[in-house]
Chain A
Amino acid sequence: MTDQSATMSVIKDYILEEFLPGEDPGQLTPSTPLVSTGILDSLAILKLIAFLEREFDIPIKAHEADEEHLNTLQAICALVDSKRSLVR
């Protein structure tokens, strides 16, 4: 498994467990909208940010906690990867 797919798998598992319990995992694709559809509401965004910072040991800036950076699994992974590349 590549770094990127491992990252996506960890984030996907977290989102399924926390915000989509009981849903078919196959329905959550890399491009499924999360913020614009309300799956991630304001409280869920706080939880997700706290999870990403803790899990990947990265700081996420205030302006990145928005639809542009968190709307899909793909976007979230891109954000995490960009942060990890800065840390390395």
Chain B
Amino acid sequence: MDFAWSDEQMQLREAVKSFARDELNEGLCERDKRGEFNREGWHKCAKFGIHGLPVPADYGGMGADPLTTVGVLENLGYGCKDNGLLFSINAHMWTVEIPLLDFGSEPQKRKYLPDLCNGTLIGGNAMTEPGSGSDAYSLRTTAERRGDRYVLNGSKTFVSNGNVADLVVVYATLNRSAGPNGICGFLVEKGYPGFKVGRPLEKMGLRTSPMAELFFDDCEVPAENRLGREGAGQSLFTHSMNWERACILSNSVGAMQRLLEMSIRYARDRKQFGQAIGKFQLVSSKIVDMKMRVDQAQAALYRTAWLQTKGRNVYLEAALAKLTISENWVRCAENAIQIHGGYGYMVEAEVERELRDALGSRLYSGTSEIQRVLVASLLGL
């Protein structure tokens, strides 16, 4: 394995760090309080090339390999403290662009990918329903072929970007008796008849990433907007989740590094009992644990992306990376608060928000429990 960055990759990583620090953090505390999406930041990131990182240049992207992509996203997360904005961008990339790129027809790719890359279109993914979460394939939203269109009926919840999305990948069943083999993906535009956005959902963390319920009431979708063949929904969703697990926490590794550096600075500056608190072993050991967790997370991220770059399937590694990074992100944020003491508990210190943001990572893209089930099964248990 070789994770050494080329000069070109280093330049890109440094450039995105400065861009993120200078352009994406202003007004974050207020946006977090209000639960407000940073649409301007969204467009700035798209203009920088973030949204199109893994998409070939033919379709308006940068055509970066997976290792380059996660390296850039890691540094984006280091510079940008708006984890919600980055979560929205990740949802857009891994659950809309990638399925479209790998399962879409040529006309579908030409129609949607350039505008997804340049940020004109915001993408969302609608799989989860009130009655189906971890048991995703028990979904109840139906699709019925009627002439040159499909008619969708049902509802979805926890749809990231749901209330700002222009294009949503919706999973529905054509035949419930076929179980997972009856499921199909559809590219649904927000203006289609029968598509309704429900109430925005207020979250504990990642508050700047919009989330909503969606309703499909005889929603008419042109037949050419079916994504993949009929019944291919399971492989479509598996593929999408595999990429998401491998890459969605790239920016979290950068955020963890930022928390580590912030905690080291504080432990050196803050004096108690006549010396810097970092001199007390109960504090310094927490910082050592943070460093260990950052390195574990980074290794899991890079190794998975490197294997992807080599064209290998990464079912096992992606689940392990997701599990390792999310659990370590939460622990790092907890340690950061503990090191900052009472100040870390104050909103203005901007440490407590990191913990609220980190906690969600144990839940989305498959809970930590589901990742463990996947890994155990792939180990032959």
Q: How far is the CB of A84 from chain B (nearest CB, A)?
A: 16
- Chain B residues with CB under 8 Å of A67's CB are 181, 231
Answer whether A68 and B377 are a contact pair too, CB < 8 Å, given A59-B311, A60-B313. Answer: no
Residue of A nearest to B99 (CB): A62
In the complex, chain B residues 269-285 whose Cβ is within 8 Å of any chain A Cβ: none
Asked if A42 and B239 sit within 8 Å, CB to CB, the answer is no
Return chain B residues, CB-CB under 8 Å to A60: 313
With contacts defined as CB atoms under 8 Å apart, how many contacts are there between chain A and chain B in the complex? 62
Q: How far is the CA of A36 from the CA of B23 in the complex (A)?
A: 51
Q: Nearest CB to that of A36 among chain B residues?
A: B181
Shortest distance between the CB of B103 and any CB in chain A (Å): 6
Bound form: Cα–Cα A43–B24 in Å = 39
Q: Please give, as numbers and ranges, the residues of chain A lying within 8 Å of B234 by CB-CB distance.
A: 42, 45, 66
- A36-B181, A43-B377 in contact; A66/B315 too (CB < 8 A)? no
| Assembly CA distance A67 to B181 (angstroms) | 7
Q: Name the one of B180, B181, B228, B380 contacting A63, with C-beta atoms under 8 angstroms.
A: B228
Contacts of B108 in A (CB 8 A): none
- Residues of chain A whose beta carbon lies under 8 Å from any beta carbon of chain B: 18, 35-36, 38, 41-43, 45-47, 49-50, 53, 59-68
| Residue with the greatest number of chain B CB neighbours at <10 A, chosen from A18, A47, A49 | A47
- Say if the beta carbon of B316 comes within 8 Å of chain A: yes
B residues adjacent to A (C-beta < 8 A): 102-103, 137, 178-181, 228-229, 231-232, 234-236, 238-239, 242, 311-313, 315-316, 373-374, 377-378, 380
- Other-chain contact of B137, A35, A42, A47, A68 (Cβ < 8 Å): A42
Least Cβ–Cβ distance between A2 and chain B, in angstroms: 28
B313 engages A53 (CB within 8 Å): yes
Residue of A nearest to B243 (CB): A62
Closest to B311 in A: A59
Q: Helix, strand, loop or mixed for chain A's interface? A: helix
Given A36, A61, A68, which contacts B178 in the complex, CB threshold below 8 Å? A36
Contacts known (A36-B181, A50-B378); A62 close to B315, Cβ less than 8 A: no
- B229 to A62, Cβ gap below 8 A? no
Complex contact A68–B229 (CB within 8 A): yes
- In the complex, residue of chain B having the shortest beta-carbon distance to the beta carbon of A67: B181
A49 B313 Cβ-Cβ under 8 A: yes
Contact (Cβ within 8 A) A62 B235:
yes
Smallest CB gap from B377: residue in A: A43
The listed residue (A38, A46, A63) touching B232 by CB distance below 8 A is: A63
Cross-interface CB contact of B238 among A50, A61, A65, cutoff 8 Å: A65
